[in-house]
Amino acid sequence: MITSVLAANRGEIACRIFRTCRDLGIRTVAVHSDADEDALHTRVADTSVRLPGAAPAETYLRGDLIVKAAVAAGADAVHPGYGFLAENAGFARAVLAAGLVWIGPPPEAIEAMASKTRAKELMGLAPLREVTEADLPVLVKAAAGGGGRGMRIVRSLAQLDAALESARAEAASAFGDGEVFVEPYLGGEAHGRHVEVQILADAHGTVWTLGTRDCSLQRRHQKVIEEAPAPGLEPALTDELYALAERAARRVDYVGAGTVEFLVAGEKAHFLEMNTRLQVEHPVTEAVFGIDLVAEQIRIAEGHALADRPPRARGHAIEARLYAEDPARDWAPQTGTLHRLAVPDGVRLDTGYTDGDVIGVHYDPMLAKAVAHAATRAEAIRRLSGALERAAVHGPVTNRDLLVRSLRHPRFTAARMDTGFYDRHLADLTAPAPDPYAPLAAALADAHGRSRFGGWRNLPSQPQTKRYLRAGEEHEVHYRHTRQGLAADGVRVVHADVCLVVLDIDGVRRRFEIARYGEHVHVNATALTALPRFPEPTAALAPGSLLAPMPGTVVRVAEDLAEGASVEAGQPLIWLEAMKMRHEICAPASGTLSALHAVPGRQVEVGALLAVVTEADKEDRDQ
């Protein structure tokens, strides 16, 4: 019997593992980097062990340190979660060599499927060896790891070498393995769907295929919304997917939880890879089949056998990943304090954060996963979108509005989505649609909070003015103090205090819940920034200034790039690494690099000046 489990991971998945362990009466051990010293997964564990450093390569990718931590803390088993070392056969062997129980598949099975190139060969497939014009578009893909890291779409042969180099660097940084391969790209314009099959196998020869999942809504090859079962698949295709998934498991004598992924185009299924670990989206399968996959992993690791048949599937489940990122700004990750995270009852929330936690730059920007289960797909969509719409998410910019709109988009509700969904619809899904009365509600709440005696005087008062920044635009609102209280033109103020404003708008009463954190104000789902009454003068930036879109580390500057060099519009100049992803900073126009401040290895804050490009026609005018 397992009595103590170390989670070789962090954040949401570590908290998820610990939740099941507590239910089973198993003690828990966390490991943490210096950046995660006070993270939620560290606080909820019974014991925690420090991994010195902050970068993944120094901490969560150091299998030797994690094994030492497990032994020192008295753990008798290790659960890898997902990401980091979850699919590292060497780490699995090290755990077993230390006399610990490995809650995962045999190292040999991991090794056989860890490289996507070898996995394809095992399934009788092979990646492209030479790419020709006829093969385009193609996908450059990391042989190890996943989560969209080390992946690049190539649409012209001229892009191939740069994509290979960039993918290798990102894969090496994320997984410690820079091997990449090339395969035909069947997403986007090909209207391919990402469909996968959850498997669970014991050491006694039983393999369960626990339904399908559709994970087609992706950004940067990372999943955003997932659901089970995958809607609209013909029974024959579903049976084929089950058969292929079981074949993959049996070919490597698989034990434990795993996922076999496919790209489905029409009625044809193309094998992508086998993930020899628990998936981020596993909760939708748990909801539909009424099981706890982490508990099943632990039981299998203890040697228990599965029943002959899996439980019966019931209903439909959908999961949405809440990220600290700005979809309207090329999915730029966001950092800062998460003041509040609260989702209404009726949905499951898996998270590694709680109110007051700080979202840093070192790790993935996922804040939480919200999961809804209902009798039908339409009911699950309604339940999840409604809960997200009413959720309180106070702090950095998130993709919450995008999730709500995605769930309600006609192509999604009709189950006609594919992996190119966001390529085609992102502009509409991120178009500003703020509440026009949110700035007024914020001003009334602020006025109540600052007015010691209600603000009324015996003489007619001049309108008070406040300014707010909303969705990048400045808004000015006016209100007055009267004998009856606060008033504004065009509405009747029914109630106003620092937390709640009720307005009667053309006979319809609306409630506005207000939360303020310094100059940042949240009014229901609308985020505002209170502007000072007298704006401070700001330093003007030179035209063509390239600013850091996020806090991160400068990991590379284009070769031979120096002040005075000629650059072309769209040319990659600087590479930033933030939250485990690499981001290219490109020249905004053709011209001359008139200033270069970026230095490899330097940490920069959002808005930091990296370089200045002077446009060619501007140079001509100045001469």
Q: Which of 184, 217, 236 finishes a domain?
A: 184
Residue 42 lies in a domain: yes
Model confidence over 268-284: pLDDT tens digits? 898 889 999 999 999 99
Which residues partner with 609 through β-bridges?
547
CA-closest candidate to residue 308, choices 408, 451, 207, 219: 207
Residue with tokens 């035209």: 543
Within 13 Å and on the Cβ side, how many CA atoms surround 554?
23
3-state secondary structure of 312: coil
Same domain flag for 445 and 373: no
Same domain, 384 and 456: no
Strands (DSSP E) found in 174-255 = 180-184, 193-201, 207-219, 222-228
My answer on whether 581 and 478 are in the same domain is no
Rounded CA separation 285/322 (Å): 19
Nearest to 159 by CA among 139, 176, 143: 139
Is residue 494 domain-resident?
A: yes
Are 363 and 11 spatial neighbours (Cβ–Cβ below 8 Å)?
yes
Q: Do residues 328 and 420 share a domain? A: yes
CB 591 within 8 A of CB 567: yes
Q: Are 221 and 309 in contact (CB under 8 A)?
A: no
- Residue where a domain terminates, one of 530, 554, 582: 530
Residue 368 in domain: yes
Establish if 414 belongs to a structural domain.
yes
Residues 426 and 442 in one domain: no
What gap in Å lies between CA 153 and CA 163, rounded to an integer? 8
Q: Structure tokens of 543?
A: 């035209």
In a domain, 303, yes or no: no
Query: What gap in Å lies between CA 12 and CA 16, rounded to an integer?
Result: 6
Establish whether the linkage from the previous residue to 543 is cis, with ω within 30° of 0.
no
What does each C-alpha distance from 472 to 38, 252, 329 come to in angstroms?
33, 53, 12
Number of other CB atoms surrounding residue 268 within 10 Å: 12
Residue at 31: amino acid letter:
V
What is the pairing mode between strands 566-567 and 591-596?
Answer: antiparallel
Cis-peptide into 137, omega within 30 deg: yes
| The pLDDT of residue 104 | 98
Q: What is the CATH number of the domain that holds 467?
A: 3.30.700.40
Question: Could you give the angle at the alpha carbon of 245 between the alpha carbons of 239 and 250, nearest 5°?
Answer: 125
Torsions phi, psi of 3, nearest 5? -115, -20
* Nearest partner of 439 among 526, 506, 354, 378, judged by Cα: 526
Cα-based angle 553, 555, 557 (whole degrees, multiple of 5): 120
Same domain, 362 and 425: yes
Spell out the alpha helix ranges (H) of 466-509.
none
Residue 170's pLDDT is 83
Which residue in 604, 562, 563 sits closest to 583, CA to CA? 604
d(Cα 223, Cα 318) in Å, to the nearest integer?
12
User: What are the residue ranges in the chain where pLDDT is below 50?
Assistant: 452-456, 621
Any idea how long the chain is?
623
Element (H, E) at 317: strand 316-323
Token pair 């990449």 in the structure block, residue: 180
> Which CATH number belongs to the domain containing residue 558 in this structure?
2.40.50.100
Between strands 336-338 and 348-351, the pairing is: unpaired
The DSSP symbol for 539 reads: P
Helix (H) or strand (E) holding 156: none
Give me the number of domains the chain comprises: 5
Domain termination site, one of 530, 562, 581:
530
Q: Do 409 and 446 have their domain in common?
A: no
pLDDT digits (tens, 9 = 90+) for 469-491: 988 789 999 999 888 889 999 99
Write out the residue range of the structural domain in which residue 26 sits. 4-103
563 shares a domain with 458: no
Shared domain for 322 and 412, answered yes or no, is: yes
**Residue 62 belongs to domain with CATH number:** 3.40.50.20
Distance of CA 439 to the CA centre of its chain: 29
CA separation for the pair 80, 102 (Å, rounded): 8
